[in-house]
Chain A
Amino acid sequence: MSASRLTKGGRIDRSCRLGFTWDGRSFEGYAGDTLASALMASGETVLGRSFKYHRPRGIMSAGVEESGAIVTLGAGERAEPNTKATMVELYDGLTACGQNAWPNVRSDVGAALGLFGRFFSAGFYYKTFMGLPPFEWGRGTGIWMQYEKLIRKAAGMGEASRSADPDAYDHVHAFCDVLVVGSGPAGLNAALTAARQGKDVILVEQDFDLGGDLLNQSDPVAEAQRRELVAELKAANVRVMTRTTAFGLYDYGTAGLLERVTDHLAVKPAHAPRQRFWTVRAAATVLATGALERTVAFTNNDRPGVMTVAAARAYLNRFGVLPGRNIVLSTNNDSAYVTAAELARAGANVTLVDLRDRVSEVHMVAMKAAGVEVKTGLAPLKALGGKSVAGVVLARPRGKSWAAAETLACDLLLVSAGWSPVVNLVSHRGAKPVWDKDLACFLPAPCADNVVMAGSAAGHWNTGDCAASGIAAAKTAMGESAESPALGGAETPVKPLYEVRLPGKKTKSFVDPQHDVTAADVRLAHQEGFVSVEHLKRYTTLGMATDQGKMGNVIGLALMADALGKEIPEVGTTRFRPPYTPVAIGALAGRNTSSHFKVLRRTPLHDWNLRHGATMTDAGLWHRPWYFARKGETITEAYIREAATVRDTLGICDVSSLGKIAVQGPDASEFLNRVYSNAFAKLAVGKARYGIMLRDDGMVMDDGTTWRLAENDFLLTTTTTNAGKVMVWLEELLQLRWPDLKVHVTSVSDQWAGVSVAGPKARSDIMACLQDPAAVSADNLPFMGVIETRLKGGIKCLIARISFSGELAYEVYVPSDYGEVMMDLLWETAEPMGGCLYGLEALGTLRIEKGHVTGAELDGRVTIDDAGLGKMASARKPFIGSALRQRPDLLRADRPQLVGIFPKDRNQTFNGGALLCKPDEISGFGEGWVTAVTYSPALGHWIGLGYVSGGHTAWQGKAATATDPVRQGDIAVEIVSPHMFDPEGERMHG
């Protein structure tokens, strides 16, 4: 291949030179170039190394189907592997390098693998390395894991950066009447037709210029028409999006688009995202996505210098590059003739080889005029040359086989084996492509959605027909009747051609060059019984590379059909799936990264806590205080001090994140009575009650206290994590099951700031903060009492005497905005009393000592009996879950039940998540598991909670082992009652 830039012609701007780096060397191109065209003009031939065999690869196309010039763009954290050089718009300062090669793509040591190519057929690695001697004699598949690493290194694509993506991406939503994909003659006319009728139109084009195939034509009349169409579109307010790929079609006329905003800019503006991910909802969609030219499987059809005819036309007419001097052009259809003449007129010596014996007179006259020699009844059998093509051996059909014919010298071999309409997007909608025997291609099937095909994507081969079909498609999409031109449009019909080979010869002719799948691989798959097209795909990896089989799928299907003795339609085709071309993960994520990945919820006391030394931890979406370390304290020292302080004097803990639901209305008590397992109907005003709610299936859903503020006014609290779930559940019950109940539920979680004040001195602390200290005297506010009163300064507050820590404790709620005032008041008194602030870690310690359950114990798999709360299930009334909690398996005596756990040697600790086993039976799932572990300052050693078969009474006097084979090993433990501290509850009643 001896490509050279022409002195004139093309759409490049020769006055605008752009410098770029390829494999560490400096090059120049022009504005309007792609990376591929600039490299071709610079005489570079080998741009890549193949996936398996490390064969040299050059430019094969000028578009998305590229399987040879696959490069890594950029460097460092912005390195983007597996980019098609044909799709990369050149800019000043662009950096790219070859991949899957060492030291570089031009001289790659890995190419030695090609010498052993016959060993690397489909399924080679699995057959050789998995379970077969001598590699794995009796060793299972373990050793495969070792080989796999080496294989992955040798075979493959480019390497992605391991750093975080430094660029920003946006998500955008849009609506329109008509979405037109593709801006060729069909797309431009479709968009204009719709816009002229006042429709809101979005036109999407993956290229950086509008025109599709019109950009590759040399006819000045066509160019004038293109300019006119583009100008009219803009005047008609069509929203034109270039550098944007419609990568997928989804339900309800939804299209996914990827807009490349700054990829082509030398200086990327700081304010602009790199790419935008568009979700477009269109009432109608016109797909004018064009057609891709196919090649043929023949020996060495992957040599640099073998490319499609359409590619040569694009490089010549659009990029001003004459891709070869001495060109052989092989075809089986009419489309190649224009290109042959254009190449000859540009100064190349062109020989056209047509498989068909007879060609229309028009073409013969044109070829003669252009000085192109035409040979008929021939096809390429073998490309000659190493790192670039040097000639081609031709073959002539003989019966159902072939016979070798003459050899022609050339530096560029162009191949056209017909056209494949791009039916990918409509295939996403489930419309299975239909094989058309006359046109030798898959045509789009009618789609149930309002999606209309136009242009060559619908099977129209001429520019005029494409334009007419675009107009018709737009009308159809708008619900008008319209007639499209007849399909096809060739003077002489195409003569299908998929493979050329001599019988019995084993050679490398590639079907899917990107994954190095050869014709022999397809036949081998058939031989080994992989006859379904879906199995063929997975066994050979045909069509599974980044181009999704744009180049090779049809050839592969034809070869399989041939091997089966069937027709192509009987073999069928695999379904295309989004995305049409690769989409960066960053674009999918958009702005939802790092701290924006999920919502962060802060309690009204968040800043107050931070000011007072809190270290925060995640609790669902919330940040909650974890511990308040004094100077030099570790987390362990801090939480042990905090827990001990609560038992000794008092502690204050932010509990604002608890879910709070106002349950109001005349039937509120009846409603709660049905929702909770225990009785609520007779709860007195001014009283709180701990309640457990079950799911329909009888498992525990959530627990919390509910306060009766007035006859028809309850404040229900939930756990932090289940706040949303419980709200949804109550709404479901009221709207779907019991619409007759007069109850309204309102989430008031954010309306209240809440703290727990716990410890022997809790009452004195609160008294000091109240306008009327007597309101919380032992008589006025007994255990489980609720009052509404006022803090100093007149702030309304709710106080409930409830305890999670097992101490004398109160929960104090004030309107959120007064949260900090409340904290200041409480802390002002508590600090001189020797009180402390405590976080989740100490809260955990206190509740574990008491055997109080949280989400770790109520994990959705436990019954109320398992959790040791069976007494709270009323036998006098039915409630949600009361029927199914009686299922026989849930009543088994040996079900795992809540227990306390002590280490046998009190100096030892054990892990949460460890399995509880009998000491002599450490296997399987064991007898239970550990849910929580803490150091108990009250008991002076480590303790835990867990579930174990039969509960603690069944394990009295029996040894148990907490086993954690991955982290810690086996620890001898004792199973005890979960109520490990103050089992009678004397402290909280005090």
Chain B
Amino acid sequence: MIRIPCPFCGTRDHSEFAHGGDGSVTYPNLDAPMQDWHDAVFQRENICGVQVETWQHVNGCRMWILVERDTMTHEIHSVRPAHAGMAKALGAAS
């Protein structure tokens, strides 16, 4: 029942989106040691409260977005494009 304000399209039903994963993870370089990759891929916090998540507006503009969502209440605190260049372009346009 969540509604997500897509920065590109406006507020849409969550059924148009696909949940990606933990948006706080910075993936290491491809040639980084196995341990770094292990931590990035497998070590996750199980947050009760606000967390940053990646979502894709898969049945819409296909853009990936970073969503700050409360896992307890489903309240959405902020949404921004995942691609920094896109965020900048949006900011310039508005």
Contact = CB atoms under 8 A, between A and B. Distances in A.
Contacts of A731: 56, 62, 64
B34 A737 contact: no
A252 B74 contact: yes
Interface stretch (A399-407, A583-591, A828-836, A883-891): A883-891
Nearest to B31: A878
A24 interface: no
Contacts of B84: 739
A731 B64 CA distance: 8
B34 A736 contact: no
Nearest to A674: B30
Contacts of B1: 250-252, 254
A140 B28 CA distance: 54
B3 interface: yes
A697 interface: yes
A736 B83 contact: yes
A685 interface: no
Contacts of B38: 884, 887
A879 B27 CA distance: 13
Contacts of B62: 731
Interface string B61-74: 01110000000011
Contacts of B86: 735
A179 to B, nearest CB: 14
Nearest to B66: A736
B34 A732 contact: no
Contacts of B3: 252, 281
Interface string B27-66: 1111111101110111000000000001010100011100
Contact of B41 (A254, A697, A728): A697
A880 interface: yes
Interface string A252-269: 101000000000000000
A659 B56 CA distance: 20
B30 A878 contact: yes
B9 interface: no
B91 interface: no
Interface in A357-374: none
Nearest to B27: A737
A728 B63 CA distance: 10
B60 to A, nearest CB: 12
Interface in A8-24: none
Interface string A110-125: 0000000000000000
Contacts of B83: 734-736, 739
B90 interface: no
A251 B74 contact: yes
Interface residues of B, number: 33
A448 interface: yes
Interface string A222-264: 0000000000000000000000000000111010000000000
Given A696-B41, A884-B38, A884-B41, A732 B30 contact: no
A882 interface: yes
Contact of A735 (B32, B33, B64): B64
Contact of B58 (A250, A728, A735, A884): A728
A735 B54 CA distance: 11
B70 to A, nearest CB: 11
Contacts of B31: 878, 883
B79 interface: no
Chain B CB within 10 Å — which of A250, A736, A887 has the most? A736
Given A251-B2, A728-B56, A886-B34, A735 B63 contact: yes
Given A731-B56, A737-B27, A887 B34 contact: yes
A254 B28 CA distance: 41
Contacts of A736: 20, 54, 64, 82-83
Contacts of A883: 28, 30-34, 36-37
A251 B28 CA distance: 36
Contact of A732 (B2, B41, B56, B81): B56
A731 B34 CA distance: 24
Nearest to B37: A883
Contacts of B34: 883-884, 886-887
Contacts of A254: 1
Interface string A863-905: 0000000000000001110111011000000000000000000
Chain B CB within 10 Å — which of A281, A739, A887 has the most? A739
Contacts of A697: 41-42
Contacts of B10: none
Interface residues of A, number: 25
Nearest to A279: B1
Interface in B3-24: 3, 18, 20
A739 B85 contact: yes
A728 B18 contact: yes
Nearest to A250: B1
A887 B35 CA distance: 10
Contacts of A252: 1-3, 74
B54 A732 contact: yes
Chain B CB within 10 Å — which of A254, A728, A735, A884 has the most? A735
B64 A884 contact: no
Nearest to A697: B41
A884 B37 contact: yes
A737 B83 CA distance: 9
A251 B31 CA distance: 43
Chain B CB within 10 Å — which of A281, A879, A884 has the most? A884
B82 A696 contact: no
A825 B89 CA distance: 49
A886 to B, nearest CB: 6
A252 B31 CA distance: 44
A735 B41 contact: no
B20 A732 contact: yes
A735 B62 CA distance: 10
A254 B3 CA distance: 10
A29 B1 CA distance: 43
Contacts of A882: 30
A879 B37 CA distance: 12
A520 B56 CA distance: 56
Nearest to B32: A883
A728 B64 CA distance: 9
A880 B30 contact: yes
Nearest to B87: A739
A126 B2 CA distance: 42
A861 to B, nearest CB: 16
A736 B26 CA distance: 9
Nearest to A882: B30
Nearest to A879: B30
A545 to B, nearest CB: 27
Contact of A448 (B42, B63, B73): B73
Nearest to B34: A883
Nearest to B36: A883
A737 B23 CA distance: 11
Nearest to B54: A736
Nearest to A884: B37
A370 to B, nearest CB: 51
Contacts of B58: 728
A737 B32 CA distance: 14
Contacts of B56: 728, 731-732
A880 B81 CA distance: 23
Contacts of A737: 27
B44 to A, nearest CB: 13
A879 B30 CA distance: 6
Nearest to A173: B13
A925 B34 CA distance: 30
8 contacts: A251-B1, A448-B73, A674-B30, A697-B41, A731-B64, A735-B81, A878-B29, A878-B30
Closest 8 A/B residue pairs (Cβ): A878-B30, A883-B37, A878-B31, A251-B1, A735-B64, A254-B1, A250-B1, A735-B83
Given A281-B3, A883-B37, 17 more contacts: A250-B1, A252-B3, A696-B27, A696-B41, A697-B41, A728-B56, A731-B56, A731-B64, A732-B54, A734-B83, A735-B64, A735-B82, A736-B20, A882-B30, A883-B28, A883-B31, A884-B38
